[in-house]
Amino acid sequence: MRELTQSEQQHHADEVAKQGYSIMEGAIDRDFRSALLEEFEHLEQVRPGGDLAPAPFSGYVTRRWFDVLNDGDIWQRVATHPWIMAVLPKLLGDGFLLSTMGTAIIGPGEDAQPLHVDDGVYAFPRPHPNLVCNTMWAISDFTAESGATMVVPESNNWDHDPVLNEKYDAIPVEMPAGSIAFVLGTCYHGAGKNATDTDRVALTINYCSGSMRQQENLMLGVHPERMMTFPRELQDILGFKICKGAGHLFATDPRSEMGRHYGPGNPDDPYLNRRSALHSERVKRKTRQES
């Protein structure tokens, strides 16, 4: 896949700042989409109907699977899509985190979701710095009829969160299958009504600033041994990367300690080497003192 140019990256960051959302077409190629569709079939077999019971907000005929980093390896690629990774630092700053990832497969007849914001969970008075950015992955076409995400353009710049069931001028984020839309945490949005007779197939992959708590408890949900096999970029956004001094273990990169307990890790990793060198030094000192 080609890289996003600097000016494309800036364009998306500017669009998001201005209107709350931005669409990247051609972000998911045919093979990637087919592999995702296969993964959904697998998930349907092992956890039929999704991980959430039918409910008004998350939907009655909507299938949402979570904790997917324990499922197929394809989710590791999803979490670190290069175009998303290129734009997010401009929106959430360095050290941003993966907050939650899941499917949003909206069945025929599902009503529109109430308009909401994704950073309401933090209850910060607005305006505030960007805390959250969602990415909506269109695996099938997003149209007004199929239930494309509805957004209220420029609501990201308003000074209050939406009032439940109030009427707002929302428009559908129409985009062809294979597109990904950024939706800022402060932008009023919600899934549209699916008035077709087929599923609207999507992923919702949500990121937050490195200073915020992740929505999904990813550090507890994935076994450390498995996390140590993940690419470094994914480990970073799970919380292994120190952000403004926060997130360390023994005042150093947590991978060192995790590698010691749950290796193999990367034997060339300078942090790991430093940590194990310090550890053997301590053991030697202790043995000397005891003898």
Ligand X SMILES: O=C(O)CCC(=O)C(=O)O
Q: Which is nearer to ligand X, 23 or 202 (CB)?
A: 202
In the complex, the smallest distance separating the C-beta of residue 290 from ligand X, rounded to whole angstroms, is 57
What residues form DSSP beta bridges with 149? none
Q: How far is the CB of 198 from ligand X (least distance, A)?
A: 15
Q: Which of 102, 108, 113, 105 is nearest to 62 (CA)?
A: 105
Number of residues binding to ligand X, judged by CB under 6 A: 8
Stretch that binds ligand X, among 14-22, 27-35, 184-192, 276-284 (CB under 6 A): 184-192
Nearer to ligand X (CB atom), residue 57 or residue 250: 57
Integer-rounded Cα Rg, in Å, for the chain is 21
CA atoms within 13 A on the CB side of 5: 3
Using the rule CB under 6 A, is 151 a contact of ligand X?
Answer: no
- Per-residue interface string for the shown chain with ligand X, residues 109-138, x marking contact by CB under 6 A: ---------------------------x--
- Beta-bridge partners for 175: 142
Here's the x/- map for ligand X, 200-229, by CB under 6 A: it reads as: --x-x-------------------------
191 touches ligand X (CB under 6 A): yes
Nearer to ligand X, 214 or 235 (CB): 214
| Residue 149 interacts with ligand X (CB under 6 A): yes or no | yes
CB of 262 to ligand X, least distance (A): 33
Name the minimum Å distance from CB 8 to ligand X: 23
Tokens found for residue 278 = 């310090």
Q: Which of residues 89-108 bind ligand X (CB under 6 A)?
A: 104
Among 50, 95, 178, 190, binds ligand X (CB under 6 A): 190
Under the rule (CB under 6 A), what is the footprint of ligand X?
104, 136, 149, 189-191, 202, 204
